[in-house]
Structure 1
Amino acid sequence: MGLLLQACAAIFVLGNLVTSQPLVQNPKEPFKITAVNFNGEQMQITWAVKDYFPGRNVTFFYRFGTTRHNRDWKQCPNYILYQGYNSGCLFNTEGPTLNIFIKDQNGSEQLFNQSLKSDFFIKPNPPENVTFHWKNDTITVECKKPKKSPRCLNLEYQYKSKHDKEWQSRKSECCKVEEQGFDPEKCYSFRVRLERRVPLCNRIPYASEWGEVTVWRNGSLLDSCDDDIKSLSNQVILLLSVLAVLLAVFFLLIFVCKWQRFQKSVMPVIPDPKHIFSDLFNDHNGNFQEWIDKTDNPMVQTKMECVEYECIIEETTEKGEKDVKKEASEKFCELSDMNEKDYLSSAHKTSLPPPASDTVSFESFKFFMNEDMYVIL
């Protein structure tokens, strides 16, 4: 049944076409025109001026409808030029049947005439409101259904990944296409257009211009596939930056710890005497002599001069006398390094009579001597 309808439509088209009557200079090459009906709104008729009318201009006339309606002929409102000569005409579409005449520049000589069905040369507009639905590995592409003859249209979409060189194409009846086998991890570019079916609706398979290219990855719309790479590289850069900062902080802490130790070893901290001798600065305003006189500071040591006394020991030899004087002098020097308290304690202990029985008299003092010949005062 479908084939029968297509055959009938083809017969109907051929029956409505009027045989061209070219009156050109080269009869060996039949005169050819190109007709395009832009979405049923504007007609464009073009011809090869350099092949058929070299070196001269022509005029174009047209009218829609049949001769029974006695419609007037209209001259072309907008010529298409090629190297300064008329090579086509652009005018509004006013009906399904079109009659055209091409005459010389004065309009007196007829060069070409033809009748054709304008609806069989329709070029549709790009699809509107295109949507993409991505689920798992399946993509569904839809567009808004056109008001004029949607049954005569096929929806075609093409796609390619960033690793593909050529576009992959899929077609389906208007206005929905579903395709499986897409990798959610890959980035794909898509473009969509509408195409007129032949021979049921068009003599020539005119298709619309491609719509805007869109880029998708796993259901997410991107500006370009490079953005996918940039987003990954940005994440890597961010991670590396965080690691670099942490590493820098770690080395900085180590440096600070080592620097404090190094600074203490090279430049030790000088203690502030203000805290140790607070009463010296707070009570005596730094007057050291006043502070010495009025405080009983345990840190002040009693200074004793080492004075050599001449010891006269009776009944001793000259040599023994010298040894006694030397030992007594050394003993006095040792005692001079003691503070007052230690000195009194030592003197008390040493004042005990030695076990020896020898007694030495020095003026009004008596000295007890042991075998080591120490003299104790």
Structure 2
Amino acid sequence: MASRYSLKGKVLPKLVSSIWLIVLFNVPYSVLSDDVNCIVHNEEFMECTWSHNGGKINYTLYYWYGSNPAEECRNYIQQDGYNIGCNFSANEIVQFKDFYVFRNGSNDSQNISRAAQIFHLQDQVKPFPPGNLVVNATEDNGLLLHWDAPMPTERCLEYEVRHQNNKEKEWQKASVSMQRNFNLASVDPEKFYTFQVKSKVNIYCGTTQLWSEWSLPVHWGKNDTQKENSKEAFRTYITVISLVGLILLVICLIRSERLKVIIIPKIPNPGRNFDPLFNNHNGNFQDWLGVSKDTLEGFKSSYHENVCIVSESPPDSIQSSIHGGSYEHLGRTEIPGKSFSPDGKGEAHPKFTSPATLFSDIAVFVESSRYDINENIYVRV
């Protein structure tokens, strides 16, 4: 008898759902599909979603519990104008009772219907991540991690903790049944530890594999890694700025001729210094130097030597003796126009010559001598 009632309880909901399908949509009952996915988020709301494969088909969703009448979704989730899901509030969620959904599609020419799906909502609960993680050091050189449950029904949750330090690359994981704390023994105070926790409904309240997301991390210890990362980031920042500055300097050098001359001066070409002498002054050295005529006249000598006209007379014995001889006898200089002849006593007496001969002698004397201005004497050349 018990087995008969048990079988009746399993067959009756399926029979009722098939009747609703035939009456409402005039379609035959078919095998259940898995096109729709329903998830109860932290027992606060539920989302039943499906994928839109393109085309112009827009689906509507109908749902019901057990033998209750079917109802259409009241709050659709849309994307690009097409329905892709349905939102259910907390008062529309009933756990431990069969939940049916039916998706009906239509376009301009025909109706396209999907088979009904059944869910046990107690197995579709996905909790939120645990919050308010706190880690404290214990007296026995350990760490105690504590957190808050994301759902009011704390006894229906189990947790998983993962932790690592700055010397390890892989996470260490540990399962926690229903406690909201975790003890890590024998920690190194020189290391930097990181903790995270996630949760799911345990076997006493449902059979699900829907874990929550990992919680926000909580840290404990010396954060040497962050200091090293900060130093590395600072070095990278300085390197990037230096490279950018160097590139900008090169661009400025290429585009600015004046800046290029200041930083990299050109080597002067001495040959071009004399170009204005020939191009602008036609080789006039005085104009090129900018020296005035008065200044130039000041460098000229004020001494002028008169031109002396020299004429030759017929040679005679006296001229030959003058031209071939020397005016210096006995340490004295003879004056042209006068000749000396010794007498019997050894004394010299002047000998008079004619005026023509005297003029010729003077000319020869001037030609073979130069006048020293400073000493006011004639010097024999």
TM-score interval (norm. to shorter) = 0.3 to 0.5
TM-score between both structures, scaled by the size of structure 2: 0.45
TM-score between both structures, scaled by the size of structure 1: 0.45
